[in-house]
Amino acid sequence: MKNTMIFFFFTMIFVIGCSDNSTNNPDNTLSDTVFTDARDGKKYSIVKINSQVWMSENLNASTYRNGDPILYARSSKEWLDAAIRKEGAWCYYDNDFKNGEVYGKLYNWYAVSDVRGLAPKGYHIPSDLECDRLVNYLGGDSIAGQKMKSKTGWFQNGNGTNSSGFNGFPGGDCSLNGSFGGMTYNGDWWNSKESDSSFASYLSLNYLTPTASKNSYWKYQGMSVRCLRD
């Protein structure tokens, strides 16, 4: 009987120890919550979603990883000229730097794909498959958007729950002729997939629906960028 009780006692210790370890879920724990971009000292909140660590703010960098400046298109003509040259460029929505404080910069895909690297060291532009992994973990494209959208900033009743921590803001877009649209209505984020010589892939959220959809659009379009830890 005594031996049986001893065996039971140590068995319970083992089981409890295993249980304690299992509750420390690596999918939702993160030792650091802020990342500092060495290029300019800007700080970005980060969040762990499943096995991925995402920036929970839009990129706001003005140089490539090697320090070379990215063209700042201050006018519709400069934006169009960059598109014609297929040169990387960025702008602020409505050419107003105050929008950058909330929404970050809008980049064309030529900046996203530049070999000098748009993402800071230790991070990268997410692939098409990595975006799929995020959306699938959050329940699939029909409902993931509601969990990804920020709790404020969306038109009418289009706010999300942000239960994922992604904190997707509706930063809008810049078109070929340098006109702007979509702020408060949609948030669009480039990924690294090139669809063909003219189009590239992006992830989109909209105020009207809880969906997270993948689409393809002209590379000259200005969209937001989120980076993923290597």
For 53-69, what is each residue's pLDDT tens digit? 999 999 999 999 999 99
- pLDDT of 52: 98
> When comparing pLDDT for 102 and 26, which is higher?
102
**Average pLDDT, integer, range 190-219:** 97
- At 1, the pLDDT band (50, 70, 90 cuts) reads very low
- pLDDT of 15: 35
Range of weakest confidence among 31-35, 43-47, 83-87 = 31-35
* Integer Cα distance of 66 and 210 in angstroms: 38
Element spanning 186, H or E: strand 186-194
Per residue in 109-155, pLDDT (tens digit) is 999 999 999 999 999 999 999 999 999 999 999 999 999 999 999 99
- pLDDT of 128: 96
163-196: b (≥16 Cβ within 10 Å) or e: ebbbbbbbbbbbbeebebebbebbbbbbbbbbee
> When comparing pLDDT for 219 and 2, which is higher?
219
**Average pLDDT, integer, range 91-119:** 97
> When comparing pLDDT for 98 and 17, which is higher?
98
Per residue in 142-194, pLDDT (tens digit) is 999 999 999 999 999 999 999 999 999 999 999 999 999 999 999 999 999 99
- pLDDT of 28: 59
- pLDDT of 29: 65
Write a three-state SS string for 34-84: EEECCCCCCEEEEEEECCEEEECCCCCCCECCCCCECEECCCHHHHHHHHH
Instruction: Please provide the average confidence, as pLDDT, over all residues in the chain.
Output: 90
Domain boundaries, the chain: 34-229
- pLDDT of 43: 96
In this structure, are residues 105 and 59 in contact, taking their beta carbons and an 8 Å threshold? Answer: yes
